Structure 1
C-alpha cells in the first residue's frame, strides 16, 4: 500500500489503498480498482483496490486462525497493545485529520477532532481489557447445591461494516471494544472513504497488534454481503442506513449470527418557552457538522409558538455564519457533501419541501464565485433553514443527510412530545427548559436512545450510544458497548 502521509493541500494525492489480509497489503484484487474523488475539488485524488469474495474468504480464514491466541493472551498484554494504539494515534492526529479531509472534504478542524476522539475510544476500551468479569449466581434451595457462575467470552470473528461519513470515529466505537473483548476483526471499510481506516491499521500493527487479528477490506455491497453470509463470521456490527440494514438482517438469517445495528436518526431539539434561547439556537450548528452528513445531528427544531419567530430568525443568522471554503483552511466551517448525486438529492428535497413551507435561508448550491479557486468545482450546499415545515413531510420525518434544518412550531407540551416522537427514528433528542419538573415529565416520554437537556455533550466513550425504533438495536460505548462483543457462558459445578 502506498499513501501520502502528509498531504498539505486539497489537491494532494492519496495514492493507492487496498486490502490488508493477514498483515500484508495486497496490490491487486479479484474485483479491481476504482478512482477516489475528492468532494472538495471533484478531482481524482486516489485509487481504491476493491475487495471481493476471495479477499473476504482469505481474511476470515486468517482471522479465525489468529483469534484463539489473541483470546488466550493475558488481558493486561491486550490492554498494553491497545494503549499503545491510543498513544500512536494521538501522535498522528494531524496526519489522520489530513487524510480524512482529503477523502471526505470535512473541515480540517472537524477531521482532527474525529481522529482525537477515535484515539480516546482506544484508551477507554484498553482500560476494560483486563476488567472483563462474570458473576457468581446465588444458590437456589430448589436446585442441587454447587457453585454457579458466569464467564463472558468473545464471539470469535467479528465482521465490522463501517459507514463512509467519518469512518475514523466508527473505528474507535467498533474495533476498540471488539479487540478488547478478545475477538479478531474483519473490517469492510467504505469505498468512498478507505484511506484513514487503512492508516489506522498501519498504526495498529506498529503498536504490536498481531497481524491476523485485524483485516481491512475496502469494498462495496458485494463484499459486505459475503462477509455477513460467511459461516465463519460469528457476529456483525454495522453502521449505516435502514435499507442496507434490512439486507444485512436478511443475509444474517442464513447463519443466525447476532447483528449490532447503529442506523439513522432525526434528532429533535425541543425548545420550551422558558428555555435559554441563545443556547438552543447555538445548538443549530450541530446540523451543519460534516455538512449535515451524520446520524445524530440536530436536524429538527420544535419551538414553542411564543418563541418561534425569534428562534427562526436567530437560527437563520447562526446558520448563514457558517463559512464554506477550502476544508484545509482553519476558518472553514462547512465542507462539501460527499458527491454530486448527494448534492442534487439534497437540493431536490429542499426544493420540494419549500413549496409547502418557508425557505428562510439557503436552498442552493454554494455560488462557486464565493469559493477559493481550488474548490470551485466541489459539491458544496448552502446551509439551509426551512420553517413552518409540515410534520408529515419527508424532510420532517426522514434524514436529509445534508446541511438542512427544519423548524416546526408547537403550542403544548403534549404536542411537543408527539412531534418529537413522530418519526420512525429514535436515536437522540435535546430538550431546552429551565423547568426541572417539565424535564422530569418529558424525558421518560422521549422515544430516543440518548436525551440531552439544555445542550448536547458529544459522544464520550463511556456513554452508551444507540437507538430506539428504526435507529437500530444494541449499544456502542461504555460497558454496554463492550459486552455487545461478548457472549455469556454459565458454569455450574455440583458440590
Structure 2
C-alpha cells in the first residue's frame, strides 16, 4: 500500500510543520522502499552498520553526557554494548536474513532447530558461529515458538514482510525510549524490515542529544526517504500518533503512557479503558517493562558462588543506573535455604559496594522516595545512600513491591517458606500471578541443583509466562542477542497491556515466536573449569563490577563491525582483567 498525500487528523489543534514534512517525505519514500530490491536492502543495512561503527565513539560520548558518566568510568562499557554494538549486530543478522530470502532460501536455513516441552519448536540463536562460541563461551539462547508450529512451518514462514517486499505497510511511528540508546534505532530497523513500513522515529526528549549521531548512522535509509528522525516533547508525539498519514505505532515506555495514547487521559480515558474503546484508530505494538523477578533455587553454594551471584543480581538491578525495563526488582528466595543468611549479607554488601553513579532519569528520586514510603524499614545503601533494599517482609506486605515498577535503584527480597519442588511451584505461581508484567524473569541455580531437577528445568521454564527467561544469566543477554526476540509474553490486550504487545529485534524474522530462553554459566572462568563446569567466560563485561568493561565492550563493538581472528587476543586480554 501507499499512503499518498498526508494531512493532519485534526484542524483545530496545533500543527507541527516539521512532522508534516517528515511524513510527506516518508509517503514518497515508501514507494522508493517498495521498489528497492532485497539485495539493495541488505546493502543499505551494511552501510548503516558501517556508519554506526564509524560514529560509535560519538554515539557513546553523546550518551555519556546525558547519563552523567565520566569518560574514564568502566560503566561506559554499558553504553558500548547497549548502544552501537547492538545496532551493528542487528544490521548484520538482518542483512543476512534478507540475503537468504534473495537467494530463495529461508532465513532459518542452516540454523539449528530443536524441540521444547508442550509441542514447541526451538530456534538456536546463540551461539550462531565460532566467534560467538569463543567470545560468549558458556552462554546460549534459543527462541521457543508457539505450540504447534513445526520445524517445516517455521522455516517456510521466516522472513515476515520481506517475503513480499513490494507490498509495503505504510508509515510506522516509533516512539523511542529514554534509557537504552539502541532501543529506538533497533525498533526502527524492525519496523522497516519485519513489517516493511517506513518509519518516523520520535526520540524521547531524554535522548535528544543522540539525534545527530543517529541521523549520521541512518543516513543511507534517510536518503531514500525510508526513515525520518524527529525530536520534541509529548505534544509532538501526540500530534504524530494521531496523524492521518500514520498506519501503525510502536512505543517503548510505561503502561501509563501506553494507556494515555490508546485511551486518552483523565477520567474519560479511564472510562474508555474500562470499556475497551480506544481513541487511537491505528494498531499499536509496545514494550512496557514490568516488575522482573530473580528466582534463586536453594543449593549447596560455596562462599565464592554466593559472592559472584550477589554481584550478578546487583548488576541486573543497577545496570544503567537501574533505569531498565527488565531490571531485576525482586529476589525470590527460600526461607528454608541454609545459605539464606550468607546470601542476603552478600547481596546487601554488593548493592552497597557497587560503583556509584549520578541519577539521570527524570523522576528517579521521586520513585525511590515512593519505595521508601511504601517500606519505611528499607535500608539505604550505596556511596550516597541512593540505593534501597527492601527485605524481611511479611507476606501480606509484598504487594507494592510486586506491582510497582520503581524504575530506579530499588531492590526487594521476598521469602517463600518452602523447599524443593514445592518451593519451585510456589515461586513460579507468584511470578505468573502476583508480579506485574511479563517481560523477563531470571533463575539462578547451582549446576548440581539443575542436574537433580532433570527435565523439571525445562518444565519450570515452560511454566513461566515471560517473554525472556534467563537461567544463570541476565535476561539482558537476550536483549543483546540480535536474533533473539524481545518483548512481553504473547496474549496481552490493549486494556490489560502488562509488558506490551508484539516483539522486536528477532533478526532471523521468525514467525509466531513465544519466548526467548537464555542460559549462562553459574561460575566465571577459571573457577568454572576447576569445578567441572567447563566454560571459559570470565566475569561478563556487562557486570557493574567489571573493572575493564569499557575497554572490553569497545573492542567487542569494533569486532562486531569487522570480525577478525587477529582482534581476539586483545579482547580476551581485556576480558580476563575484568
Task: Name the TM-score, length of structure 2 as normaliser.
Answer: 0.63
The answer to whether the Cα contact below 8 Å between 1:52 and 1:219 also exists between their aligned partners in 2 is: no
Q: In the alignment, what sits opposite 2:123?
A: none
Q: Of residues 194, 199, 213 in structure 1, which corresponds to 2:213?
A: 199
The answer to whether the Cα contact below 8 Å between 1:96 and 1:199 also exists between their aligned partners in 2 is: yes
SS in 2 for 1:425: coil
Does 1:108 find its partner at 2:76? Answer: yes
SS in 1 for 2:77: helix
Does 1:247 find its partner at 2:260? Answer: yes
What is the alpha-carbon distance in structure 2 between the residues aligned to residue 244 and residue 482 of structure 1?
Answer: 28
Q: Of residues 497, 501, 518 in structure 2, which corresponds to 1:473?
A: 501
The answer to whether the Cα contact below 8 Å between 2:483 and 2:508 also exists between their aligned partners in 1 is: no
Does 1:432 find its partner at 2:444? Answer: yes
Q: In the alignment, what sits opposite 2:321?
A: 291
What is the alpha-carbon distance in structure 1 between the residues aligned to residue 360 and residue 391 of structure 2?
Answer: 22
Q: Of residues 323, 340, 345 in structure 2, which corresponds to 1:313?
A: 345
Instruction: Give deviations 1:191-227, integer Å, cap 9, x for gaps.
Output: 121121331112221x464252221111222211221
Q: In the alignment, what sits opposite 1:69?
A: 32
What is the alpha-carbon distance in structure 2 between the residues aligned to residue 87 and residue 253 of structure 1?
Answer: 41
| CA drift at 1:481 | 5.8
- Larger mean CA deviation between 253-262 and 296-305 belongs to 253-262
| CA drift at 1:480 | 7.3
What is the alpha-carbon distance in structure 1 between the residues aligned to residue 278 and residue 20 of structure 2?
Answer: 19
Instruction: Give deviations 1:15-34, integer Å, cap 9, x for gaps.
Output: xxxxxxxxxxxxxxxxxxxx
Q: In the alignment, what sits opposite 1:386?
A: 390
What is the alpha-carbon distance in structure 1 between the residues aligned to residue 311 and residue 15 of structure 2?
Answer: 45
The answer to whether the Cα contact below 8 Å between 2:63 and 2:210 also exists between their aligned partners in 1 is: yes
Q: In the alignment, what sits opposite 2:249?
A: 236
What is the alpha-carbon distance in structure 2 between the residues aligned to residue 174 and residue 257 of structure 1?
Answer: 18
The answer to whether the Cα contact below 8 Å between 1:476 and 1:482 also exists between their aligned partners in 2 is: no
SS in 1 for 2:487: coil
- Larger mean CA deviation between 306-315 and 69-78 belongs to 306-315
Between Structure 1 and Structure 2, which shows a larger proportion of helix residues?
A: 2
Does 1:60 find its partner at 2:60? Answer: no
What is the alpha-carbon distance in structure 2 between the residues aligned to residue 464 and residue 66 of structure 1?
Answer: 28
Matches within 5 A, 1:79-90: 79-90=42-53
Aligned residues: 391
| CA drift at 1:418 | 2.4
Does 1:416 find its partner at 2:427? Answer: yes
Gaps of 5+ in 2: 1-13, 70-74, 107-162, 265-276, 493-497, 513-578
Does 1:397 find its partner at 2:397? Answer: no
Task: Name the TM-score, length of structure 1 as normaliser.
Answer: 0.72
The answer to whether the Cα contact below 8 Å between 1:449 and 1:467 also exists between their aligned partners in 2 is: yes
> CA 1:275–1:120 in structure 2 vs 1: closer, same or farther (change >3 Å)?
farther
SS in 2 for 1:299: strand
| CA drift at 1:131 | 4.3
Q: In the alignment, what sits opposite 1:267?
A: 292
Matches within 5 A, 1:132-143: 132=101
| CA drift at 1:174 | 0.8
What is the alpha-carbon distance in structure 2 between the residues aligned to residue 426 and residue 187 of structure 1?
Answer: 26
Does 1:95 find its partner at 2:96? Answer: no
| CA drift at 1:296 | 0.7
> CA 1:275–1:91 in structure 2 vs 1: closer, same or farther (change >3 Å)?
farther
Between Structure 1 and Structure 2, which shows a larger proportion of strand residues?
A: 1
What is the alpha-carbon distance in structure 2 between the residues aligned to residue 483 and residue 185 of structure 1?
Answer: 21
| CA drift at 1:128 | 2.8
Matches within 5 A, 1:147-186: 151=164, 153-166=167-180, 168-181=181-194, 182-186=196-200
Aligned-residue CA RMSD (Å): 2.8
SS in 1 for 2:229: strand
Instruction: Give deviations 1:216-254, integer Å, cap 9, x for gaps.
Output: 111222211221111211111110000111122237955
What is the alpha-carbon distance in structure 1 between the residues aligned to residue 248 and residue 427 of structure 2?
Answer: 39
What is the alpha-carbon distance in structure 1 between the residues aligned to residue 43 and residue 105 of structure 2?
Answer: 25
> CA 1:461–1:408 in structure 2 vs 1: closer, same or farther (change >3 Å)?
same
SS in 1 for 2:503: coil
| CA drift at 1:255 | 6.5
What is the alpha-carbon distance in structure 2 between the residues aligned to residue 194 and residue 242 of structure 1?
Answer: 22
What is the alpha-carbon distance in structure 1 between the residues aligned to residue 191 and residue 324 of structure 2?
Answer: 23
Does 1:257 find its partner at 2:279? Answer: no
Does 1:350 find its partner at 2:361? Answer: no
SS in 2 for 1:171: helix
